[in-house]
Structure 1
Amino acid sequence: MVKTSSSQTLQAGQKAPDFNLKGVDGKVYSLNDFNNDLLLVVFICNHCPYVHARLDDIIALQEKYKDNLCVVGINSNDSNYEGEGFENMVKYTKERNMNFPYLIDETQNIARAYGAVCTPDPFLFDSDKKLVFHGRINEAMEPEQTPKTPVMEINIKKVLNGESIEKIFDPSIGCSIKWKN
Structure 2
Amino acid sequence: MKSLKILVVLTLLLVVSAFAFTQIDTFESGYAVGDVATDFKLKNVDGNVVSLSDFDKAKGFIVVFTCNTCPFAMANEDRILDLDKEFKAKGYPVIAINPNNPEVQPGDSFEAMQERAREKGFTFPYLFDENQEIYPQYGATKTPHVYLLQKEGESLLVRYIGAIDDSVRDEATVTKRFVADAVQALLAGKPVEPSNTKAIGCSIKA
From 161, 172, 178, give the equivalent of 1:134: 161
From 57, 60, 84, give the equivalent of 1:62: 84
* 2:96 is aligned with 1:73: yes
- Residue in structure 1 matched with residue 6 of structure 2 by the alignment: none
Structure 1 unmatched ranges of 5 or more: 1-6
Cα deviation, 1:68-114, whole Å, max 9, x if unaligned, reads: 21111111100221311100000000111111000001111101111
- Residue in structure 2 matched with residue 15 of structure 1 by the alignment: 36
- Residue in structure 2 matched with residue 26 of structure 1 by the alignment: 47
Structure 2 unmatched ranges of 5 or more: 1-27
Percent of pairs identical after alignment? 35
Relative contact order, higher structure (CA 8 A, sep 6+): 1
TM-score when scaled to structure 1?
Answer: 0.90
Residue identity matched to 1:60: D
- Residue in structure 2 matched with residue 42 of structure 1 by the alignment: 64
From 100, 123, 128, give the equivalent of 1:99: 123
Specify the structure having the higher radius of gyration (Cα): 2
Q: 1:22 to 1:152 in 2, by over 3 A?
A: same
Matches within 5 A, 1:109-148: 109-128=133-152, 129-141=156-168, 143-144=169-170, 146-148=173-175
- Give, in whole Å, the separation in 2 of the partners of 1:176 and 1:11: 19
From 154, 158, 172, give the equivalent of 2:185: 158
Runs of 4+ in 1 over 4 A off after TM superposition: none
TM-score when scaled to structure 2?
Answer: 0.79
CA displacement at 1:16 relative to structure 2: 1.7
- Give, in whole Å, the separation in 1 of the partners of 2:100 and 2:94: 19
Cα deviation, 1:8-64, whole Å, max 9, x if unaligned, reads: 631222122221110001110112013311201100000011011111111111111
CA displacement at 1:144 relative to structure 2: 4.0
Equivalent residues, number: 172
- Residue in structure 2 matched with residue 53 of structure 1 by the alignment: 75
Q: Which has the higher helix share?
A: 2
Q: Are the aligned partners of 1:136 and 1:173 in contact in 2 as well (CA < 8 Å)?
A: yes
